[in-house]
Each structure stands twice: as structure tokens, then as C-alpha cells.
Amino acid sequence: MSSTAIDAPAADRFLSGPWPRFLGRRLLRLVVSLWVLVTFSFLIVHLVPGDPVRAALGSRASATSVAEWNARLGLNDPLLTQYADYVSGLFQGRLGESLQLRLPVDQVISERLPNTLQLVALAFLLCVLVAVPLGALLAIRTQNGRHRGSELGFTAGAVVLTTIPDFCLAVGLVALLGVSLELLPVAGDSGTSSLVIPVLALAVGPAAALARIVRVEMLGVLGQDYVRTARAKRLPPRRVYLRHALPNALTATLTVGGLILTSLIAGTVLVENVIAWPGLGPTLVRSIIAKDYPMVQGIVLVYGTLVLLVNLLVDVALALVDPRSTVRES
């Protein structure tokens, strides 16, 4: 409330409110999750059956080079020592060395991660910008069982679009826009036009899913007592929808939005492979098939951390939008 006098300094009010407690708990959860993630990624090398170095270098590699790599990766040390080394390496930004590329893992990741993030960010943006207005408008149009035709068409369309997996869509778009019509580049990153196919392929399904969820949430909110109160105030419909209904619908949608954002991160693995995008996806797949475990470890760690950060972001956003959630949390 900017127009009323603020009697206590903002910082004081913040500290006395539920926020410090909420943030404390949430950060603790992040740290625990990160630790679990680091431990799991560390264990990858130790959980795979057989000698991982032998597996990576192939059966024709000499015993000496296998031994040499084992020593270089510290795989001969006691497990706890290796774990300590691994964790301390992480703190210094070291992620080990790729067996296949013979390059530091962190170097490869820092080259390729921005390309992946670019796709994720653009796809998410597109998804939200399309889905939220579409879902909300359809909810308003189809409330109380009106316009059943629109509802049926929308739902059917959304189910179909959500069923088309992103990589199939990418293949379809490549076949249509790239090969047949020759409008867009088929593969690789050669400027803005290269972004169209992967971003579309990534965004269409989630956008359809999100639009459906926004519609359902919005319909639920439109049936709430406080929307009836707003109508009883005879506010203009626009204000009822935008000021009273939509913010409450988005609160519930935010959680799902976070899920979509995290699964977009996973989706890039497939789509990047379809169009040979210079992101982390193709590297991850190549490393898995080549059994380049240090590389796999590093990328798993990066993806996992991204997911955890998104979750943190969603929770904080939720707490900002929904004043009750900080209280619920603690």
C-alpha cells in the first residue's frame, strides 16, 4: 500500500513476518536436495557394472592406458576420499575430464549450456504467453457450460497436441518447414531462423497442457464465493476477471508452470538431438552411448541443479503471489 503511511520500516516488517522462516526452510531443502543430487551423480561411476574406464575405452584399449586413466580419475582411491575429492572439486568448479573428448567437463558444459538455456527460456516464454491468455479466455467463454462447441474443440485439440511428443513434432517440422518447403534450416544453429523449429517443437505441447490447466483453474476460481462477491459489487466484468479471478487461478497454475519448465529442460535433450543443436543434449546422449561417465556426471549435475533452481523459484514466486503459502510452509 503505497498510499498509506508505512509505520514500521520495511525491513523490520519483513523480519518479523513469516518470510525468514519460510526462506530458511526452503534454502535448507535446496541444500539437502543438492547434496542428494551430488551424491547420486558421484555414484554413477560406481553403480555401473564392471570397470567404467574399460567400458569407455573399449576392449582394445591396453591395460596400461586403462590403469593410467583409472589413476588419473582417482578411481583407485578409497571411496570416501574420492567422494571428498569430487565434492571439493565441485566447489572449485572442476567436474573432471571427459574420457571421449579429452577436455575438462566444465569447459564443454560452459560452451554448450547457454545454447540449451536459450531454447528453454524462449520455449517457456512462448508457452506462457500463449497458454495463459488462451486458457483464461476459454474459461470465461465456456463458464457455466456455455459454448460447449468451443470447449469440446479446445479440449480435443489440447489432448492431441499434448500427445504429440516434442521430438516427433520436431521431426515433423523439419520434414515440413525444412525439407519440403525449405523455409528454415534443417539442423544446427545458424542464427535466429534456426530457433523456430526447436522452440516451436518444445513449446506447443506444454502450451496446450498449460492452457488446459489454466482453463480448469480459472473455471474453478470463477465458481468461488469471492468472485460472487466481486459480482455482487457490480464491478465491470473485466475487473472481476483480471483482478479477482486471474491472480487466484495463476497461484494454482504456478506450480504446474514450474513442472512444465523443468520438463522443458528434459525435453531439450530430445529436440536438440533431432536438429543437432549445439546444446548439452547431444553431448549427453553421445556420452551415455560412449560410456563417457565423467561427462555424464557433469551434465546430470547441471540438469539437476537447473531443476532444483526452478523449483526454488516457483516456491518463492508462489509465496509472493499467494500470501498464505508462506504461512502454510511453516
Partner 1 sequence: MSATNLATPVVITPSRGRGRGLLRTLLGTPLGIAAVTSVAIVLLLALLAPVIWGDAADAYHTDALRQGPSAEHLAGTDSLGRDILLRVLVATRLSVGLALGATAIAVTLGLLLGTLPAVAGRRVGRFVAAAIDVAVAFPALLLAIFFAVIFGVGEVGTMVALGVAGGPWFARLTLTLSATVASRDFVAAARVNGVSRGRILLRHVLPNIGEPLAINATLGAALNLLAFAGLSFLGIGVQAPSYDWGRLLNEGLNGIYVNPWAAIAPGVAIVLAGLAFNLTGELAAQVIGRRTREKAPREPLPGPDDAPALPVIEHGGGDDERETLLDVRDLWVRFPSGGRWVAPVRGIDLRLHAGESVGVVGESGSGKSLTALAIAQLLQEPAAVAARTLRFDGHDLRDSSSRQTRAALADSLAMIFQDPMSSLNPAMRVGPQLAEVATAHHGASRRGALAQAVQQLSAVRIPDPERRARQYPHEFSGGMRQRAMIGIGLMGTPRLLIADEPTTALDVTVQRQVLELLSAVRAEADSALLLISHDIAVVAGMCERVVVMYAGVVVEDLPVAELLAGPRHPYTRALLAALPDMETPRERPLATIPGRPPAPAELTGGCPFAARCAVASDRCREQEPPLATLADTGAGHRVACWHPQAGAVGAADVKTETEAPR
| Residue numbers 280-299 binding partner 1 by CB under 8 A | 284-285, 288-289, 293, 296
- Minimum distance from CB of 174 to partner 1 (Å)? 7
- Of residues 71 and 157, the one with the C-beta less far from partner 1: 157
Q: How far is the C-alpha of 219 from the C-alpha of 144, rounded, in Å?
A: 9
Residues in binding contact with partner 1, number by CB under 8 A? 91
Q: Following CA atoms 22, 26, 27, 33 in sequence, which dihedral angle do they give, to the nearest 10 degrees?
A: 170
* Residues whose CB falls within 8 Å of the CB of residue 167, separated by 6 or more in sequence, listed in order: 201, 270, 271, 273, 274
Give me the least distance between CB of 72 and partner 1, in Å please. 21
Tell which positions 85-104 bind partner 1, by CB under 8 A: none
Q: Which is nearer to partner 1, 72 or 231 (CB)?
A: 231
Residues 205-234 contacting partner 1, CB under 8 A = 205-206, 208-210, 212-213, 224-226, 228-234
Over its C-alpha atoms, the chain yields an Rg (Å, rounded) of 25
- Minimal distance, residue 47 CB to partner 1, in Å: 5
Cβ proximity to partner 1, 88 vs 163, nearer residue: 163
| Residues within window 1-30 making contact with partner 1, judged by CB under 8 A | 1, 3-5, 7
Which single residue is written with the C-alpha cell 497442457? 209
Q: With H, G, I as helix, E, B as strand and everything else as coil, classify residue 233.
A: coil
> According to CB under 8 A, which one of 134, 214, 274, 280 is a site residue for partner 1?
274
Alpha-carbon gap, residue 135 to 296, rounded angstroms: 38
Secondary structure class of 217 (helix, strand, coil): helix
Binding test (CB under 8 A) with partner 1, winner from 38, 99, 308, 318: 308
Helix axes 105-142, 293-321, angle to 10 degrees: 40
Give the binding range for partner 1 (CB under 8 A) out of 33-41, 85-93, 110-118, 192-200.
33-41
Distance CA 255, CA 250 (A): 9
Q: Which residues within the stretch 127-146 sit at the binding site for partner 1 (CB under 8 A)?
A: 143-146
